[in-house]
Structure 1
Amino acid sequence: MKLMFEKVLPTENCSWRYWLYEIEELPFNFHYHPEYEIVLTLNSHGQRYVGDSIENYDDLDLTLIGPHLPHTWCSSQSILGQPQKVYVAQIPVAWLEQLTNMTDLKSLKPLLQLSRRGIVFSKKVAKESATIFKRMKSKSPSERFIGLLAILQLMHDDPKSQVLSSSGYNIAITSDPSTDKLDKIIHYLHEHYTRNLKAEDLAQLVYMSTNHFHRFIKQRTEQTFTELVNQLRISKACSLLINSSMPITTISDNCGFNNISNFNRRFIQFKRMTPSKFRKLYLTRILSS
């Protein structure tokens, strides 16, 4: 699969695009576009891919994605029948950067610069932004514009925001052969994570020596190959723990772990709790909300 280009059309009577997706699951669709994008994901749990960052996410996930930065979210089907919601604001580069040339808004420039590596924000700011996004649905274009500025200001003021992609990842590499190889590796892992994955096989897939492959993965993802695979498998396991009543041993097998002891050890490594405790805590939170 190739990295996909997305054509963005503004909302009617607006200079930018506001949209709400309500869907059963978020498919893996690694793509990019020339616009800045604010993404708020609700009632969803899975993995977020931004540039060379691969992280687990859950409810109230708010990010700012810079122009041409490859990204996607991937989740399982809706939890207890609740639709997953994704609020999106896609803003043309020239429009937003011209806006921040105004003296009043120059303080937003560093935020836009950092967004070229992707930024994730705190739950507090995500919750406040969710309130604004929900109000936008019934508002006029001018009121939506004011809401957009309010969200950008919340992002600017968030002391707990975190940059996602590594400092070595930049827009220039989105069209070089190395990025194509990383995309190919990520897609392969996502489609074959249940198998016995070997670095040697992936190295052959992208025409690298095994040693070069290990260095490449570490440089581009800041994780070892084993860590990358385990993170993906644990994320898939979390989705099954939440969205099914499968026994934990079955989930372990379905997610590519060779034995339950290894699964439990890796789960605790990534989630700081056992699979059974994770299932209990998450379902308790959903039922009480």
Structure 2
Amino acid sequence: MRPRYEQPGIPDGTTFTCFIRRQEVFDFAWHHHREYELTLITEGVGTRYVGTTVERYYPGDLVLLGPDLPHTFASEPYEGMAEAAVAQFRYDFLGTDFFALPQFRTLAGLLARSALGLHFGSVPGEVHALLTQLPCLDAAAQTVALLDTLRYLAADATAMPITGPGYAPAPSTAVRDRIDAVCRHLQQTHTEPVHQEQVAALVHMSSTSFSRFFRRAMGRTLTDYVNQLRVETACSLLTTTSLPVTEVAVRSGYRNLSNFNRRFRELKGLRPTEYRAAHQQASPA
């Protein structure tokens, strides 16, 4: 139930890794690693899980995730392949003090802000080209291109933190194991009734102790987190099916339509029908 700890392999002749991830489907695979990770979605849609936050992703979605920040991308059925351009590197991949040099102060600030994850609202064509072409370059050119990418992103005013300030990206092992067990369980069961006593029992805690523990570790209540999961499931159904909103609500875990509408608007700022209409208008012909 704990997240998989990944240790990305580093190719000979370089000190970081970059690749194109291309699969029929990105399965839910909750994991973390010591490396920073840049991920640009190039094909497919799905749900991005980072720390406490659950959000839809589309082609052009770009994130920078700091070390030990649990995450995964789960794609949805798609006629083509799920694809992403990925670069993973450690803080010292160019030497212990490289980012401490004054000329790289803005890059160091970018990396520091990525502790909670950063999502970029727009992806300049230069950044898209740099990331997608990285695996085709020789080691020296890859290094220059990665630094150029970070330089662009450090100046990007659209960068916003992904997960909430109440979340600790690298809590103690015991805390992380419990939280990850709960998150994996809820990812599979959130569309059914969720009872705090049962969730608490998964990590061998009383309901009262678990309530305090979860809020302290995640910066939000269990109910808030479950609502986030359910609303993102509803977003998927609204944009990929023509199901009536009443059916979307039920399939997302809501038995009460007014409660569904209220929760959806709280998190998305739109009614479900407005969200569906806006997505349809924004979709390519």
TM (normalized to structure 1)?
Answer: 0.85
Asked if the contact 1:45–1:76 (Cα under 8 Å) also holds between the matched residues in 2, the reply is: yes
Question: In the aligned structure 2, how far is the partner of 1:271 from the partner of 1:163?
Answer: 17
Q: Give the C-alpha shift of residue 230 in structure 1.
A: 1.0
Q: Following TM superposition, by how much is the alpha carbon of 1:150 offset from its aligned partner in structure 2, in angstroms?
A: 1.2
**Deviation per residue, 1:160-217 (Å, 9 max, x gap):** 323344366143x252x12111111111111111211111221222222322222222
- Provide the residue aligned with 1:221 in structure 2: 218
1:89 to 87, 92, 95: 87
String of CA shifts for 1:117-167, please: whole Å, max 9, x gaps: 332233245x54223223335433333222211111122112332334436
Give the AA of the match of 2:281: T
Alignment partners' CA distance in 2, 1:200 and 1:167: 23
Q: Shift of residue 13 of structure 1?
A: 4.6
The SS at the match of 2:204 is: coil
Give the Å deviation of 1:46: 4.0
Shift of 1:260: 2.6
Which residue of structure 2 lines up, in the alignment, with residue 57 of structure 1? 56
The answer for unaligned runs of 5 or more in structure 1 is none
Cα pair 1:26 1:75 within 8 Å, conserved: yes
| Secondary structure of 1:94 counterpart | coil
How far apart in 1 are the matches of 2:253 and 2:40?
30
Q: Does 1:120 align with 2:119?
A: yes
Q: Which has the higher helix share?
A: 1
> Is the partner of 1:123 in helix, strand or coil?
coil
Query: What is the match of residue 156 of structure 1?
Result: 154
Contact 2:200/2:210, CA 8 A, preserved across alignment: yes
Instruction: Select 2:139's aligned residue among 132, 138, 141.
Output: 141
Aligned partners of 1:222, 1:97: CA distance in 2, in Å?
A: 35
Q: Which runs of 5+ in 2 are unaligned?
A: none
Is the contact between residue 34 and residue 93 of structure 1 (CA under 8 Å) also seen in structure 2? no
Is the CA contact (8 Å cut-off) linking 2:122 and 2:158 kept in structure 1?
no
Once the two structures are superposed, the pairs formed by residues 66-85 of structure 1 within 5 Å of their partners are 66-78=66-78, 81-85=79-83
Change (3 A) 1:134 1:149: same
Q: 1:275 to 1:168 in 2, by over 3 A?
A: closer
Q: How does 1:97-108 map to 2 (within 5 A)?
A: 97-98=95-96, 99-108=98-107
| Partners of 1:11 and 1:18 within 8 A in 2 | no
Specify the SS of the correspondent of 2:34.
coil
Paired residues of 2:39 and 2:87 also in contact (CA < 8 A): yes
Q: Distance in 2 between matches of 1:174 and 1:20?
A: 32
AA aligned to 2:232 is S
1:21 and 1:228 map into 2 onto residues whose CA distance is 29
Tell me the residue number matched to 1:17. 17
- 2:249 matched to 1:252? yes
% identity of equivalent residues = 28
Per-residue deviation at 1:6? 1.5
What is the CA–CA distance in structure 1 between the aligned matches of 2:284 and 2:169, rounded to whole Å?
Answer: 42
Deviations 1:246-274 (A, max 9, x none): 33322222211103332222222222222
User: How far apart are 1:102 and its partner, in Å?
Assistant: 4.5
Tell me which residue corresponds to 2:179.
Answer: 182
Check 1:283–1:67 CA distance in 2 against 1; reply closer, same or farther (3 A cut): same
Contact 2:75–2:82 (Cα < 8 Å) also in 1: no
SS in 1 for 2:284: helix
* Residue identity matched to 1:187: R
Q: Distance in 2 between matches of 1:162 and 1:188?
A: 28
Partner Cα distance (2:87, 2:186) in 1: 30
